[in-house]
Every structure is written in C-alpha cells, then in structure tokens.
C-alpha cells in the first residue's frame, strides 16, 4: 500500500490574484489543498461524464431505425418489470415482511 507521500505530487499552478485572495479568505489554510483537490476532482469527473455523453450521443445517432425500435421495445419491457418489482416490495413492506430502507 502506498504511503501518503507516494499518493500525492506537488504541483505549482498560476491563478488569478483575485481568485487566490478569495480562496485564502474563505478556506482555512489546513483545508485548502483538500478543497482544491475535491474541486479539481469534481471538474475532471464532469469532463469525463461529458465525454461519455458525447460518445453515447454519437453511437445513438449512427443506429438504424430498426435498432432504435428494438431498444425502445426492450426498455418498455423493463418498465413493466420495474413496476411489478416495486409493487412486490411495497406489498412486503405493508405486510411487515420487509423493513423499509
């Protein structure tokens, strides 16, 4: 298992002065690096999600009408199954056979 020193790398970035002043005023020094890491992670995750979204969009645009209809039919079948599953769970909870949550 890597030590904490092995998990991190020190980097240097240049930021607008006003942004740095605001961060220094709002974020305690001890937490600053964690806040920045969390925000950067969230940003990178959103970039990844957006890329995946674009890839799905490209995939769905290239499908034939028949493929799209087959998928719609499958989704319709699953929708009914989900409704049935929820009905069973609700019935169990109402009768006390299953705890909610």
**pLDDT digit string (tens) for the chain, length 101 residues:** 566 667 888 888 898 999 999 999 999 999 988 898 899 999 999 999 999 999 999 988 898 999 989 988 988 888 777 888 888 888 888 887 666 55
d(CA 70, CA 101) in angstroms, rounded, equals 35
pLDDT at position 26 is 92
d(CA 86, CA 100) in angstroms, rounded, equals 12
Q: Which residues are CB-neighbours of 35 under 8 A, at least 6 positions away?
A: 23, 27
Query: Domain extents for the chain?
Result: 13-62, 65-101
d(CA 88, CA 90) in angstroms, rounded, equals 5
pLDDT at position 95 is 82
pTM score of the predicted model: 0.52
pLDDT at position 52 is 95
3-state secondary structure of 48: helix
């Amino acid at each position: 298992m890597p030590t904490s020193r092995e998990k991190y790398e020190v980097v240097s970035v240049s930021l607008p002065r006003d942004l740095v002043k605001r961060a220094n005023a709002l974020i305690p020094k001890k937490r600053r690096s964690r806040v920045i890491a969390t925000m950067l992670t969230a940003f990178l995750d959103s970039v990844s999600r957006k890329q995946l979204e674009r890839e799905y969009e490209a995939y769905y645009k290239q499908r034939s009408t028949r493929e799209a209809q087959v998928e719609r039919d499958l989704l319709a079948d699953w929708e009914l199954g989900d409704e049935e599953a929820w009905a069973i769970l609700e019935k169990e909870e109402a009768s006390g056979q299953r705890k909610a949550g």
